[in-house]
Structure 1
Amino acid sequence: MFANIRQSVADWIFRAAVPEAPPVTLVQRRIFILPTRQGYFFAFTLLLLLMASINYTLSLGFLLTFLLAAMGGVAMLHTWRNLAHLKLRPGHCPPVFAGETAHFGVTIETPSRTRFAVAIRRRDAEPSYADVELGNVAVVSLPSAAVRRGRVACGRLEIFTRYPVGLFHAWSYFDFGLQVIVYPQPDASAGAPPTQSHGEAEEGIPVPGDDEFNQLRPYHAGDPPRQIAWKALARGQGLLTKEFNATASSEMWFDWNDARALDPESRLSVLCHWVLEAERMGQSYGLRLPGTSIEPGRGDAHRTRCLNALALHGDPKPQ
């Protein structure tokens, strides 16, 4: 109930442009504070003590009541100061594959003393806590389930604290428009990427296969007997295994129509698996999707470009 009241108050007062330009500094007008459930119980107890002291004219009762009230006021001030003037910036939001957990990063800096038990959470999610030390940047990572490909939007975040005694809840809101790109889940059953090129390049590179002899290597347990170099063993060279290669084009194209699958999402999963396998083998590859064509290349930047194209194909709605 108290959380819903705080949400309603902030929704009515807080009107920030989205996304906000970093850094966001928690100035006085951005911080709200209300008693917690324990705080309301504390105030009710003080009221009972005050009424009893008045009724029975208890000097020590007045002393205890006003002493506790003063301590409550000091606690409220410290709770508010634990958030005041903190600087917030967007952190790293690495891409993930569908079915994994996305993480939204937020960094916190303090201009003065150390701040304790500062928490950040998404709406209706569990908070992540951090102590913010002077001179260091605290990094808070907020997890979120990435159910399907596309974009996962973080939404508005709440930063709050109940330090030091839990009688008051001080909070603020901010929104950097954080998003995580979710790639399609690779389909391991798609097998190796097609070795036949659809490009114009003629040079070839070796890939694992059975066409041409490549080299002899030391025997490993489990190698098939037909690949053992028996002649080399007879010459006293030890137990060796013959390794063969096939020749594939130096450029491969992964085409939408080549991914045999029942539905578009399954096709994207097949293409995602081929992209990862080609990158792992150091192969140059291109990607063709309806309305999108990426020229052959290799490397982390090219891999990211292809995976982004697969993740955002058809402009799926943000999660």
Structure 2
Amino acid sequence: MTIFSLPKSVRRLVDKSFEYWLSRRIPNRKEHQLNSRNIMIYPTRFGLSYLGFVVLVFLLGTNYQNNIILLFSYLLASLFISVMLHSFYNFSQLRFYSMAKQQGYAGDELYFPIQITAVKMHYDINVHFTDRTLNSQIERIVQCPRGSQEIKLSYKSSKRGKHYLGRVTLFSEYSLGIFKSKSILDFGHCAIIYPKPTNLIVGQYQLSPQSDEQSIESYQTSNLVGTDDFSELKSFVRGESRARTAWKQLAKGQGHYSKHYQANQGQLKWLKLDDMPSNDVETKLSYLCFLINELTATNQHFGLALSTDTNNRSMNIPPNTGINHQQACLTALALY
């Protein structure tokens, strides 16, 4: 161990010890209330300068035996202590609540909402992720009135997977900026990042079903269009394809509806990783992500096969439909 590596090793040891102390002092939970157990108060740089000035004034008064200067130093010292107590009073009794998990696609901005409940007026409340490598912006509330309000911490990643975001730091320098009240809370925040969907051109490849009934049947691109059965009419939602508009009902003045189809249940559809037209795994996952969204939008039954081992339930999801099935399949892609 060299003299240059020693400070880094000591810093890592201190950080590890502090993290262990935090995990015992402020454990992971969805809701936290600030109190004397989880609030840390220490002087800011301005506060240390102020304290040094108080000591200097006191020494001058003692040296020259000037009671007015001594009285002035006592006044400054009492203000120092009063501000410390006021800083704690301003920061305490706040209640924070946040859900731990958010999902999104690679490259998209994710937002972690944190609900703040106050029983009195608070000032200068700042919130950000403790890990500064996440490039999270500091969300500031100048005045936090009595009641509930919400702030959102943003997170963005270009890599799929499950990302643990660590703790959330809250701080306030109210009042006068002499002290900083701080708390480092753990909500267990994590982000499930799905692969970024890549459009797959219909007809780009053609697969045939396997003859072995025990094996997983290959997905045919031609099943995406033209072979679905009409299911129902639903109110048109902005963003849907106009190709699915029920023009007959619209022409009769019965309202704007869109047609929804259901896959023919005679032949179950499977999306297989090995069938995707690419040699790159990440590109295959992006294709699968696009197909999952397309099949879910048309209310079709499909299954997902990421492993050749049919007994691997975490990587092979049985055919189903709906939003929950879509999220289960996308999560499997993220964790692959």
Per the normalisation by structure 2, the TM-score is 0.68
Q: Which residue of 1 aligns with 2:320?
A: 297
CA distance in 2, matches of 1:178, 1:92: 4
Is 1:148 matched up with 2:159? yes
Matches within 5 A, 1:1-319: 10-11=18-19, 13-16=21-24, 20-91=28-99, 93-110=101-118, 112-125=119-132, 126-130=137-141, 131-136=143-148, 138-188=149-199, 190-192=200-202, 207=225, 249=264, 252-290=269-307, 291=312, 292-313=315-336
Shifted more, 121-130 versus 153-162: the winner is 121-130
1:92: how far off? Answer: 6.4
- Secondary structure of 1:96's counterpart equals strand
What is the CA RMSD across the aligned residues, in angstroms? 3.4
Q: Which residue of 1 aligns with 2:4?
A: none
Per the normalisation by structure 1, the TM-score is 0.71
CA distance in 1, matches of 2:128, 2:33: 18
CA distance in 2, matches of 1:164, 1:276: 51
Instruction: Note the alpha carbon deviations across 1:191-238, whole angstroms, 9 max, x for none.
Output: 2498989679xxx999479xxxxxxxxxxxxxxxxxxxxxxxxxxxxx
Structure 1 gaps of 5+ residues are 210-246, 314-319
Which structure is larger by alpha-carbon Rg, 1 or 2?
Answer: 1
CA distance in 1, matches of 2:295, 2:30: 38
CA distance in 2, matches of 1:69, 1:175: 35
Instruction: Note the alpha carbon deviations across 1:214-266, whole angstroms, 9 max, x for none.
Output: xxxxxxxxxxxxxxxxxxxxxxxxxxxxxxxxx98565332222212122221
Return closer, same or farther for 1:208/1:67 CA change in 2, 3 Å cut-off: farther
Assess if the C-alpha contact under 8 Å between 2:104 and 2:110 holds in 1: yes
CA distance in 2, matches of 1:21, 1:86: 15
1:113: how far off? Answer: 0.9
Q: Which residue of 2 aligns with 1:214?
A: none
Letter of the aligned partner of 2:127 in structure 1? I
Assess if the C-alpha contact under 8 Å between 2:54 and 2:73 holds in 1: yes
Structure 2 gaps of 5+ residues are 1-10, 210-216, 228-261
CA distance in 2, matches of 1:89, 1:46: 40
Return closer, same or farther for 1:122/1:171 CA change in 2, 3 Å cut-off: same
Assess if the C-alpha contact under 8 Å between 1:91 and 1:139 holds in 2: no
Assess if the C-alpha contact under 8 Å between 1:53 and 1:62 holds in 2: yes
Instruction: Note the alpha carbon deviations across 1:156-201, whole angstroms, 9 max, x for none.
Output: 222221112211112122212221111011113x22498989679x
Assess if the C-alpha contact under 8 Å between 1:254 and 1:287 holds in 2: yes
Assess if the C-alpha contact under 8 Å between 1:98 and 1:148 holds in 2: yes
Assess if the C-alpha contact under 8 Å between 2:160 and 2:194 holds in 1: yes
Q: Give the percent of matched residue pairs that are identical in Structure 1 and Structure 2.
A: 26
CA distance in 2, matches of 1:13, 1:59: 46
- Secondary structure of 1:175's counterpart equals strand
1:17: how far off? Answer: 7.6
